[in-house]
Chain A
Amino acid sequence: MKARRFQKRSVFLVAYILFALLPIYWMVNMSFKTNNEILSSFSFFPQQFTWDNYRTIFTDASWYSGYINSLIYVAINTVISITVALPAAYAFSRYRFLGDKHVFFWLLTNRMTPPAVFLLPFFQLYSTLGLMDTHLAVALAHLVFNVPLAVWILEGFMSGVPREIDETAYIDGYSFPRFFLTIFIPLIKAGVGVACFFCFMFSWVELLLARTLTSVNAKPIVATMTRTVSASGMDWAVLAAAGTLTIVPGAIVIWFVRHYIAKGFAMGRV
């Protein structure tokens, strides 16, 4: 009985992984083909294997600087988001204060603005401040949707930690910062890992704001990729190679935070 149930789960898991990986495989497959081959024939493997698409990206500064720009603003954004969200999430999960529920929900409403028309005021705001085409501008603009997300995720995990832990620590003479950094944050590692990953991910793939606020010096990879659409039809092969490369940094991030996600929180094992 147990073995059969185990099998059912494995079958489902394998099926899902196939479903998840096939489009990605197709992209990787395309990235090793020439444009001509992509559009003319159906094949599971590249018939005329080529590294040219990757060579284009690694040798052309307008391509690879896109990756560097994206990484810079995503890193700034993730650090700021998590740093400000941690204490706020603690406040929401532990205390009542004037307007707490309203503020908590208001935070999330900032994710609900449909971008099209909102891009223009963003452009005006950051032009006035002289931040246009800087990494900081994109990092700050992305805070609008990442900070609320981080607060909500962290609050959920913090509420799972019993309040007795805080009280015991205060009785033992811990100050708030020391308790928070040395006891509390290690307890919600899983939540911090998930929040970091989501902040990274949403900032990494966001296109409209990043494209609006940059032109040359901070142009992100997602905006560079829209370029392939216009010039002489579509450069499918280079786009596929660029897409394959955009997965890599995120995969590295999730590899580093995977332990925090998988470990859960240590309470049950004490």
Chain B
Amino acid sequence: MKPLNQKAWLLVLPVIVCVAFSAILPLMTVVNYSVQDIISPERRVFVGTEWFASVMRDEDLHAALLRQLGFSLAVLAVEIPLGIVLALSMPATGWKASAVLVVVALSLLIPWNVVGTIWQIYGRADIGLLGAALQKLGIDYSYTGNARDAWITVLVMDVWHWTPLVALLCYAGLRAIPDAYYQAARIDGASKWAVFRYIQLPKLRGVLMIAVLLRFMDSFMIYTEPFVLTGGGPGNATTFLSQYLTQKAVGQFDLGPAAAFSLIYFLIILLLCFVLYNWMQRVGTVDAGAADPGAVR
């Protein structure tokens, strides 16, 4: 049990000041927009919860939300296991470790609009490597014409772009496991799987929690990459939630409904993250009991 110490607040205070400075005012402003009909900057009418009600009834929004949920779950289902396996197979020492680390991190460092642009060329059957290779294999592939291809391309692009985030976090987490745990397992003759299940996985709990939450919320707000790659199409196969929001906010310039939409959007992410967070914490503590080095020994 951690000791109770209210003075710890002093250590946390700078963080709260930094974050609140740029977080609270914008949030309150958006709340303010969401309950008004803004006809012009000078003419505003209070409309109460009307925008919220109309956003909730919006059929297109329901469709975009479902697409978004499917996409985010697919992202988690692919990137988390792939990231763990990648972290496990990365070399731990020597020049190879350094080289692999840098190579793996490269895709994270490309600005998001460039990611979309590169994949736009990369996926084209006439001038792009991926498109041309698939064409050679006899697969009729077109991310601009076929809704399924477009969806898969956005997913593969996201996997390419973001799996390194999961892998780097797990890699750093793995390196933080003291050798004593592995020695104990070796004495026991534990199998590779047992080592993973009872030592590595529980020790990765902290970093995995961050990785899952980050990937979930960021994929739920994905905007730039699909916007550049497919523009939301074909049809609206890759129009995810935040693109739909931007169409509303910028395209139709309905600030009130767009603000209400933003807040609902925010609350959905918040709720899902909260559920994920609590679930992972519970799973974690059950594991932690089994993962006590004494139990392995």
- State which of B33, B100, B165, B217 has its C-beta within 8 Å of the C-beta of A111: B217
A263 → B minimal CB distance (Å): 7
CB <8 Å contact, A112 and B270: yes
Q: When A148-B19, A243-B110, A251-B102 are in contact, do A117 and B4 touch as well, CB less than 8 Å? A: no
A87 CB within 8 Å of chain B: yes
Pairwise interchain contact B270-A26, C-beta atoms closer than 8 A = no
A95-B8, A156-B210, A247-B110 given; A116·B245 CB < 8 A: yes
Q: B8, A97: Cβ atoms under 8 Å?
A: yes
Cβ of B76 within 8 Å of any chain A Cβ, yes or no, is no
Are B176 and A12 neighbours in the complex by a CB distance under 8 Å? no
Cβ contact within 8 Å between B121 and A26: yes
Chain A binding surface, main DSSP class: helix
Q: Is B25 an interface residue (CB 8 A)?
A: yes
- CB neighbours of B172 from chain A (8 A): 157, 190-191, 193-194, 261, 264
A242 touches B98 (CB 8 A): no
State how many angstroms separate the Cβ of A120 from the closest Cβ of chain B.
Answer: 8
Q: Quick one: which of B23, B97, B266 contacts A262, CB cutoff 8 A?
A: B97
A254 B2 Cβ-Cβ under 8 A = no
> Which residues of chain B have C-beta atoms less than 8 A from A193's C-beta?
172
Tell me the complex Cα distance, A255–B103, Å. Answer: 10
A151 to B13 Cα, complex, angstroms: 12
Residue pair A261, B210 in contact (C-beta under 8 Å): no
Contact A88 B29 (CB under 8 A): no
Interface residue count for B (Cβ, 8 Å)? 107
B210 in contact with A152 (CB, 8 Å)? yes
Would you call A121 an interface residue if the criterion is a C-beta within 8 Å of the partner chain's C-beta atoms?
Answer: yes
For the complex, give the distance between the alpha carbons of A84 and B10 in Å: 11
A81's closest neighbor in chain B, by CB?
B18
Within 8 A of B (CB), among A154-208: 155-157, 159-160, 190-191, 193-194, 197-198, 201, 204-205, 207-208
With a CB–CB cut-off of 8 A, which chain A residues contact B100? 13, 17
> When the two chains form their complex, are residues B26 and A264 in contact, meaning their CB atoms are under 8 A apart?
no
> Is the pair B179, A269 in contact by a Cβ cutoff of 8 Å?
yes
Q: Is B27 an interface residue (CB 8 A)?
A: yes
Residues of B within 8 A of A191 (CB): 172, 176
Considering only CB atoms, which chain B residue lies closest to A140 in the complex? B22
A240 touches B85 (CB 8 A): no
Chain B min CB distance to A82 (Å):
11
Residues of B within 8 A of A85 (CB): 15
Decide if B249 touches A240 in the complex (CB within 8 Å): no
A87-120 interface with B by 8 A CB criterion: 87-88, 90-92, 94-98, 100, 103, 105, 107-118, 120
Across the interface, do B29 and A23 meet the contact criterion of CB distance under 8 Å? Answer: no
CB pair B119–A23 under 8 Å, yes or no, is yes
Alpha-carbon distance A111/B217, docked complex (angstroms): 8
Q: Given the interface contacts A13-B100, A97-B8, A205-B109, does A265 sit within 8 Å of B176 by beta carbon?
A: yes
Chain A residue at minimum C-beta to C-beta distance from B213: A108
Whether A27 contacts B118 by the Cβ 8 Å rule is: yes
Q: Which chain B residues border A108 with CB–CB below 8 Å?
A: 213, 273
Specify which chain B residues have a CB less than 8 angstroms from the CB of A100 in the assembled complex. 8
Q: Among A21, A87, A112, which residue has its beta carbon within 8 angstroms of that of B217? A: A112
What does the 1/0 interface line of A195-235 toward B look like (CB < 8 Å)?
00110010011011000000000000110011000000010
Instruction: Please state if A258 and B175 are interface contacts (CB–CB under 8 Å).
Output: no
Query: Across the interface, which residues of A come within 8 angstroms of B252, CB to CB?
Result: none
| A-B CB contact pairs (8 Å), 29 listed | A13-B89, A13-B90, A16-B86, A24-B106, A24-B118, A26-B118, A85-B15, A95-B2, A95-B5, A112-B273, A114-B241, A114-B245, A121-B30, A122-B22, A124-B29, A125-B22, A125-B25, A140-B18, A157-B172, A159-B206, A201-B105, A207-B224, A247-B106, A247-B109, A250-B105, A250-B106, A261-B171, A262-B92, A262-B93
Given contacts A222-B111, A268-B181, 7 further A-B contacts (CB under 8 A): A12-B86, A23-B118, A23-B122, A27-B114, A251-B102, A262-B97, A264-B177
